Structure 1
Amino acid sequence: DFTEMEKKVDTTARAVLEIMTKTTEYLQPNPATRAKMSMMNSMSRIRGQEKGPGYTQTEAILGEAMQRFGRELGEESNFGLALIDAGEAMRELGEVKDALDMEVKQNFIDPMQNLHEKDLKEIQHHLKKMEGRRLDFDYKKKRQGKVTDDEIKQALEKFDDSKEIAEQSMFNLLESDIEQVSQLAALVHAQVEYHSRAAEILTQLSSKIDERIRDASNKPRKEYAPKPRISLDFSISENHNGGIHSARSPAPMDQPCCRALYDFDPENEGELGFKEGDIITLTNKIDENWYEGMLHGNSGFFPINYVDILVPLPH
């Protein structure tokens, strides 16, 4: 039945579009990072670069923080050594997640995108053409007497031809839907591989941490030995209440600029780092979320909600 096929094709089109979107959100759940990626990729294209930075996995961010503080605590610290182990495992998890992203994009999202942009668009084109010819036939049929029978017959033949082409294209799509099942299988297989590798990495980490706990419990506890107190004669400097002057020199206020409300540590190439209180010269507004500016001779992008505008950019 033509109408039933049309309904199924419409449902398929809506399903493909929404599932592609939701799959991307599932793989890359942070909307702010997705927006940043989109902006950075756009800037890369403008600058003629091949590709912007990829999605920063939260596992990799956590792992970097763990390793940084683990190294800072040093090898004498049980906690520091365990943090280094955990940080390395998190870094590996981030790499496995990157592999999942790539696998799903190549074998699930890209084929779905191709289906949406080619086959489904082609069917919509045939249906639209058929509808136009149906209206033409109805119009000429109503004017019977003023329009020749040959014209009416030609209009009917054109409508029938278009309907047959649209029907054939819908039939082919619905009959070959096992291809979409194969693509869905690729998504599931990629997830199985990811969770299998993640479980393996975390199991190894768990064993390492358990071993560190056992080793630490078998070592003799160190006792605190207070050092003898030394008597010191403190004198108050004349300048004790002299006040503290900021070493930062503010940027001139005759050009667009802003003041940093918080510290911002860049995570991607092209971002501009700064400290709370820095005065940043504004050069461009990228979009509703990002500015471009200069500080200490360096230029880059930074989020709008991290700064307070002192002199706005000209409209």
Structure 2
Amino acid sequence: MSVAGLKKQFYKASQLVSEKVGGAEGTKLDDDFKEMEKKVDLTSKAVTEVLTRTIEYLQPNPASRAKLTMLNTMSKIRGQVKNPGYPQSEGLLGESMIRYGKELGEDSNFGDALLDAGESMKRLAEVKDSLDIEVKQNFIDPLQNLCDKDLKEIQHHLKKLEGRRLDFDYKKKRQGKIPDEELRQAMEKFEESKEVAETSMHNLLETDIEQVSQLSALVDAQLDYHRQAVQILDELAEKLKRRMREASSRPKREYKPKPRETYDFGDTDQSNGGFSCNPTPKVSASSSFRSDKPSRASVRSIPPLDQPCCKALYDFEPENDGELGFKEGDVITLTNQIDENCIRMSQVGEPGCVLHAEHQRTETCGTVAGDKATPSITEGLGRAPASLLLLTWPGAEPQLRTRPMLQHIPVPAVPGSRYSSTALF
């Protein structure tokens, strides 16, 4: 900077300090100029605020706006022509509806309705994109150009005018110490800057019809968007009403519960004391309780629910007439108690009875139902090895046969039975 330039900056600073601190009065501008300056300042604030709010109206999500700005900047750096668009909320909603509508399937009324609504939402998003483009071209860009050029130019002229006024006031205050020619040049420059600033402000205020036309373009774009949106929503509403009528006219499907599976509660030793989860096949009344096959792992059916029962621990092959034979694991029905030491039992229609030693009885529990007595249940047989005497039945003279080392095994009570029984075998 030259010496003259430094001196001019010094004059301006001195005059500004004297006005702000010392209360010196500077050259006053006329009221018309001040009024135009005030209107221009308000116009600048209005345009800046409206631009910001319009962008927020079109793109309400600040995070998405920031991401879009970054992507646009990267696209410019890479030289890409096409920039990514703003993710419209209608489009995101439509994608969600379509995804879950497809997952629900065509046999779902709600799924079909979601597909219809999702397609309509995506159409709304496309219309919203068109609104963004039209508003940007016909409203945002012209106003942004007004801020970048006309208003910026006026601010430059006003700033230059203020500098020349300070220079002129400083020299005028020192009149006599400064050459008259220098004072005259300062005054001419001040008047020139004032005229330029006044002209630019006048032109801006007189051509504000351009801003009105730009605002009208914004409203027209909104009207077009809302017309298309109303049309799309009307079509969607009609589709949904039609689907409601179709769904109402269809016969309702009644719910038919599936038959419950039955479970075998007999083999507690195979499930750590719990119930077996394997379904138990149904057995007819004429089916045998004993399997003819030698397999030890065969599944055996439970007896009728109104009879107490027991389970055999060992195989027994009858050697004489009237003896009851059974296999290991057979479930035997206890039909009656003959006396204190004899219990009648049956299997596959064969009668028989079992005799147990009196001295091993430790605890009994029994009930009487009608004219039938339930067997006395002996837990002593399960505490130690014992001899079990099988008695032929019927017979004139009972023949006793010994079956050593038979222990009792607990069998859970059958659900629905009125008996609480413990197995004797």
- In the superposition, the TM-score normalised over structure 2's length comes to 0.54
1:245 matched residue in structure 2: none
Distance 1:69 1:49 in 2: 35
Q: 2:145 aligns with which of 111, 114, 119?
A: 114
For CA contacts below 8 A with separation 6 or more, give which structure has more relative contact order: 1
Q: 2:57 aligns with which of 18, 26, 30?
A: 26
Cα deviations by residue, 1:273-309 (Å, 9 ceiling, x for unpaired) = xxxxxxxxxxxxxxxxxxxxxxxxxxxxxxxxxxxxx
Q: 1:35 aligns with which of 55, 61, 66?
A: 66
Residue 162 of structure 2 is aligned to residue 124 of structure 1: no
Cα deviations by residue, 1:161-182 (Å, 9 ceiling, x for unpaired) = 1100100000000000010000
1:86 matched residue in structure 2: 117
Residue 44 of structure 2 is aligned to residue 13 of structure 1: yes
The one-letter code sitting in structure 2 at the alignment partner of 1:90 is M
The one-letter code sitting in structure 2 at the alignment partner of 1:96 is V
Distance 1:99 1:78 in 2: 32
2:208 matched residue in structure 1: 177
1:51: Cα distance to partner? 4.5
Residue 100 of structure 2 is aligned to residue 69 of structure 1: yes
Q: 2:199 aligns with which of 168, 173, 188?
A: 168
Distance 2:46 2:241 in 1: 46
1:231: Cα distance to partner? 5.2
Which protein has the larger Cα radius of gyration, Structure 1 or Structure 2?
Answer: 2
Task: Tell me the SS of whatever aligns to 1:56.
Answer: coil
1:306 matched residue in structure 2: none
2:321 matched residue in structure 1: none
1:101 matched residue in structure 2: 132
Unaligned residue ranges in structure 2 (runs of 5+): 1-31, 265-269, 272-425
Residue 257 of structure 2 is aligned to residue 226 of structure 1: yes
Structure 2 CA distance for partners of 1:160 and 1:60, relative to 1, 3 Å: same
Cα deviations by residue, 1:32-53 (Å, 9 ceiling, x for unpaired) = 1112212222333344433542
Residue 189 of structure 2 is aligned to residue 158 of structure 1: yes
The answer as to whether partners of 1:33 and 1:55 remain within 8 angstroms in 2 is: yes
Distance 1:215 1:9 in 2: 63
Distance 1:108 1:62 in 2: 28
Residue 217 of structure 2 is aligned to residue 186 of structure 1: yes
The one-letter code sitting in structure 1 at the alignment partner of 2:139 is F
Distance 1:51 1:215 in 2: 45
Moved more, 94-103 or 32-41: 32-41
The answer as to whether partners of 1:133 and 1:158 remain within 8 angstroms in 2 is: yes
Distance 2:164 2:70 in 1: 44
Unaligned residue ranges in structure 1 (runs of 5+): 237-315
Cα deviations by residue, 1:71-92 (Å, 9 ceiling, x for unpaired) = 1111101000000000000000
Task: Tell me the SS of whatever aligns to 2:166.
Answer: helix
2:243 matched residue in structure 1: 212
2:180 matched residue in structure 1: 149
Distance 1:228 1:47 in 2: 68
1:230: Cα distance to partner? 4.0
Structure 2 CA distance for partners of 1:231 and 1:38, relative to 1, 3 Å: farther
Count, aligned residues: 235
Task: Tell me the SS of whatever aligns to 1:222.
Answer: coil
Moved more, 76-85 or 132-141: 132-141
Q: 2:164 aligns with which of 119, 133, 138?
A: 133
Compute the RMSD of aligned alpha carbons.
1.6
Residue 84 of structure 2 is aligned to residue 53 of structure 1: yes
Structure 2 CA distance for partners of 1:232 and 1:74, relative to 1, 3 Å: farther
1:61: Cα distance to partner? 0.3
Structure 2 CA distance for partners of 1:7 and 1:75, relative to 1, 3 Å: same
The answer as to whether partners of 1:60 and 1:91 remain within 8 angstroms in 2 is: yes
1:44 matched residue in structure 2: 75
Distance 2:106 2:131 in 1: 34
The answer as to whether partners of 1:5 and 1:171 remain within 8 angstroms in 2 is: yes
- In the superposition, the TM-score normalised over structure 1's length comes to 0.72
Query: Following superposition of structure 1 onto structure 2, how do residues 228-247 of structure 1 map, counting pairs within 5 Å?
Result: 228-230=259-261
Query: Following superposition of structure 1 onto structure 2, how do residues 210-289 of structure 1 map, counting pairs within 5 Å?
Result: 210-230=241-261
Q: 1:3 aligns with which of 29, 34, 38?
A: 34
The one-letter code sitting in structure 2 at the alignment partner of 1:127 is L
Distance 2:104 2:121 in 1: 19
The answer as to whether partners of 1:45 and 1:51 remain within 8 angstroms in 2 is: no
The answer as to whether partners of 1:41 and 1:53 remain within 8 angstroms in 2 is: yes
Structure 2 CA distance for partners of 1:140 and 1:211, relative to 1, 3 Å: same
Distance 1:46 1:167 in 2: 41
